[in-house]
Amino acid sequence: EVAEMQTGLVTAKAIADGLLLDGRVVLDGILFDTDKATIRPESKPALDVIAKYLQDNPALQVYIVGHTDGTGGFDHNLALSRNRASAVSSALSRDYGIAATRLLAHGVGPLSPQKTNQNEGGRARNRLDLSERVASRQTREKRRETLIKDLEVGEVREGRVVRLEDF
């Protein structure tokens, strides 16, 4: 059985903005078979975007963090989230040549939901996020300069008003 999930597709811009503004970004567009860590084929476009971003930012090291909804047993969900994060990490390394040392998979099960677990739409989106592991000052400054070129103070980005202190 395959669960149908309606999600958007992660973009390079969303990855850059999320990592700079929040230190993490939800990886929409990566889908799994129900209650399994099998990545569905329709996830390829999202994996392509993530891999390209990592290839374009070779100093970036990240956590790939797996999440689950709150249904089912806690230990099962913790293992499922870890296995899903590992599956994505393995796919990025195996299929796209991203060094495995740059990717650290970790599962948090239902402990840190990205979206509400109170409805099916939210539960369907509690899957994965990408969080920055190590950022050198030079790397942060370079990303900061790049993002500032594209932004104006007061602009609404990712539902937030951009403030100078965000940088």
- Residues 50-90 pLDDT 10s: 999 999 989 888 999 988 877 889 999 899 999 999 999 99
pLDDT above 90 coverage of the chain, percent: 32
Q: What is the residue type of 5?
A: M
Residue-wise burial string across 105-117, b where 16 or more C-beta atoms lie within 10 A, e elsewhere: bebbbbeebbbeb
Cβ atoms 8, 15 nearer than 8 A: no
Cβ proximity of 55 and 38 under 8 Å: no
Q: How far is residue 130 from each of residues 23, 89, 120, 159, 165, measured CA to CA in Å?
A: 9, 11, 22, 19, 23
In DSSP terms, 156 is beta-bridged to 161
Return the pLDDT at 79: 93
User: What band does 118 get if pLDDT is binned at 50, 70 and 90?
Assistant: confident
Average pLDDT over residues 28-35: 86
